[in-house]
């Protein structure tokens, strides 16, 4: 099983829609999880950190399911500017310094 | 604007050239990283410096040589690269090593083309 797995998408949704992405991880000892956003030809930027059961920031909600070993990212009321690739990131088996990036889920929000 | 500054933004070099990529942060972060990213792929970790000491080298070929002159600066020296080394090279920093290590601040990257 890969350390981190994501559905690559793309997810095509209209403006105003609610969309959710899942990310599964294999290291059951992981204590922290991260969602990054990366626009085309730009650097990744931290979107949300998850250290317990979940986190919410405006239209964005991240939830952690330790039993099933997945984290989800929910985006409500999608905006055109939400179009990007969303990367799931978890610490690797060898420790905090070695972060493992998922392949990313591409989101396209259309008018 | 990102608080991690990388130069140059673009670099074209031949396989016999020697060049360097530079990264600077003034956030007082004690961990700095080099990542390599190919098109439509996630970033791949190359090197980690913690408190100015190299702590992780992900079996990177010796034609890539990192250097951390001080806590604010990180360099990547390039020599005898191959065309397949063409990629976006991302520098990142984080406040410290530990559970919050995943909160990385990335620079805009240096886009490298090897001819």
End-to-end CA distance of chain A: 38
Residues of B in contact with A45 (CB under 8 A): 106
Query: Across the interface, do B108 and A104 touch by the CB < 8 Å criterion?
Result: no
Cis peptide before B8 (omega within 30 of 0): yes
Residue-averaged pLDDT of chain B: 92
Residue-averaged pLDDT of chain A: 92
Residues of B in contact with A31 (CB under 8 A): 99
Grade residue A5 by pLDDT with cuts at 50, 70 and 90: very high
Query: What beta strand segments (E) does A7-79 contain?
Result: 11-14, 19-25, 33-38, 44-50, 54-57, 60-65, 70-75
Query: Across the interface, do A31 and B97 touch by the CB < 8 Å criterion?
Result: no
Question: In chain A, pLDDT over 70 holds for what percent of residues?
Answer: 97
B82 touches chain A (CB under 8 A): no
Grade residue B112 by pLDDT with cuts at 50, 70 and 90: very high
Query: Across the interface, do B105 and A90 touch by the CB < 8 Å criterion?
Result: no
Q: Distance, in angstroms, between A104 CA and closest chain B CA?
A: 7
- Token couple for A11: 């997810």
A54 vs A67: CA distance, rounded Å: 14
Grade residue B98 by pLDDT with cuts at 50, 70 and 90: low
Query: Across the interface, do A43 and B109 touch by the CB < 8 Å criterion?
Result: yes
Query: Across the interface, do A97 and B108 touch by the CB < 8 Å criterion?
Result: no
Q: What is the mean pLDDT of residues B3-11?
A: 96
Q: What is the mean pLDDT of residues B23-31?
A: 93
pLDDT digits (tens, 9 = 90+) for A9-37: 899 999 999 999 999 999 888 888 999 99
| Cβ burial B1-37 (10 Å sphere, 16+ → b, else e) | ebebebeeeebebeeeeebebbbbbeeebebbbbbbb
Which residue does chain B place closest to A44, by CA atoms? B106
B108 touches chain A (CB under 8 A): yes
Q: What is the pLDDT of residue A77?
A: 98
Nearest to B106 among A34, A44, A96 (CB): A44
Residues 6+ apart with CB under 8 A from A32: A49, A50, A51, A90, A91, A96, B99, B100, B102
B43 vs B50: CA distance, rounded Å: 19
Grade residue B101 by pLDDT with cuts at 50, 70 and 90: low
Q: What is the pLDDT of residue A96?
A: 63
């Amino acid at each position: 099983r890969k350390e981190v797995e994501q559905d690559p998408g793309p997810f095509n949704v209209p403006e105003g829609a609610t969309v959710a992405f899942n990310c599964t991880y294999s290291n059951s000892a992981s204590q922290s999880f991260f969602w990054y956003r990366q626009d085309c030809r730009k650097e990744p930027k931290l979107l949300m950190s998850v250290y317990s059961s979940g986190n919410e920031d405006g239209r964005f909600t991240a939830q952690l399911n330790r039993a099933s070993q997945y984290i989800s990212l929910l985006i409500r009321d999608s905006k055109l500017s939400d179009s990007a690739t969303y990367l799931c990131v978890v610490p690797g088996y060898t420790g905090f310094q070695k972060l493992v990036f998922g392949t990313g889920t591409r989101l396209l929000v259309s008018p | 604007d990102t608080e991690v500054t990388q130069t140059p933004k673009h670099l074209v070099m031949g396989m016999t050239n020697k060049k360097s990529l530079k990264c600077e942060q003034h956030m007082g972060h004690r961990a700095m990283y080099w990542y390599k990213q190919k098109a439509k792929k996630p970033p791949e970790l190359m090197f980690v410096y913690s408190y100015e000491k190299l702590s992780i080298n992900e079996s990177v070929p010796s034609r890539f040589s990192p250097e951390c002159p001080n806590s604010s600066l990180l360099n990547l020296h390039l020599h005898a690269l191959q065309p397949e080394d063409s990629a976006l090279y991302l520098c990142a920093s984080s406040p410290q090593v530990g559970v919050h290590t995943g909160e990385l601040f990335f620079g805009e990257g240096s886009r490298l083309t090897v001819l």
